């Protein structure tokens, strides 16, 4: 299954998962997050700044500074992490309609609408901790 996200949204999720998995090390520098989550440091810098501005992360300046989550990982929903980076509102119709909606549906509207609603429900119900624990558990498993 592939969740349709921008690269920026994916990097935001990966950074948050890394932070959740390393809570005992907070605050964590952007450089450490970039290395640990395999994200280009320059790109991550902007993502982390946006997450701070949106109240998802807090930053501490200085030699011992870095980033930490504002709320616990089990209270932080994936939707909140992605909202600054993804267009969850009105989207272009992937099937060619200039305006696609319940009033002017494309041929795939009903099926596509269910996909979007399922994605939204998943993001609103799933916490960073939910995926961080799954990721850390599976990280050590050999691939079959």
Task: Tell whether 64 is covered by a domain.
Answer: yes
Mean pLDDT of 70-79: 97
Task: Tell whether 21 is covered by a domain.
Answer: yes
Task: Tell whether 77 is covered by a domain.
Answer: yes
CATH number of the domain at 115, please. Answer: 1.10.10.10
For 90-141, what is each residue's pLDDT tens digit? 567 777 777 778 888 888 888 888 888 898 999 999 999 999 998 665 444 4
Task: Tell whether 101 is covered by a domain.
Answer: yes
Write down the pTM of the prediction.
0.83
Per-residue pLDDT, 99: 75
Task: Tell whether 142 is covered by a domain.
Answer: no
Task: Tell whether 38 is covered by a domain.
Answer: yes
Question: Which are the contacts of 140, defined by CB distance < 8 A and separation ≥ 6?
Answer: none
For 44-61, what is each residue's pLDDT tens digit? 999 999 999 999 999 999
For 2-16, what is each residue's pLDDT tens digit? 567 899 999 999 999
Q: How far apart are CA 107 and CA 143, in angstroms?
A: 39
Under 8 Å between Cβ of 112 and 94: yes
Residue numbers of the domain that contains 106: 7-135
Task: Tell whether 2 is covered by a domain.
Answer: no
């Amino acid at each position: 299954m592939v969740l349709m996200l921008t690269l920026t949204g994916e990097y935001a999720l990966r950074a948050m998962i890394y932070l959740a998995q390393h809570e005992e090390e907070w605050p964590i520098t952007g450089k450490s997050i970039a290395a640990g989550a395999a994200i280009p440091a320059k790109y991550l810098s902007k993502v982390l700044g946006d997450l701070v501005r949106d109240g998802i992360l807090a930053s501490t300046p200085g030699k011992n500074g870095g980033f930490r989550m504002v709320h616990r990982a089990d209270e932080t929903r994936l939707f909140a992490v992605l909202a600054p980076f993804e267009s969850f509102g009105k989207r272009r119709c992937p099937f060619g309609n200039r305006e696609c909606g319940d009033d002017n549906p494309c041929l795939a509207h009903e099926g596509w609408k269910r996909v979007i609603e399922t994605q939204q429900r998943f993001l609103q119900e799933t916490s960073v901790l939910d995926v961080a624990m799954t990721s850390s558990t599976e990280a050590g498993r050999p691939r079959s």
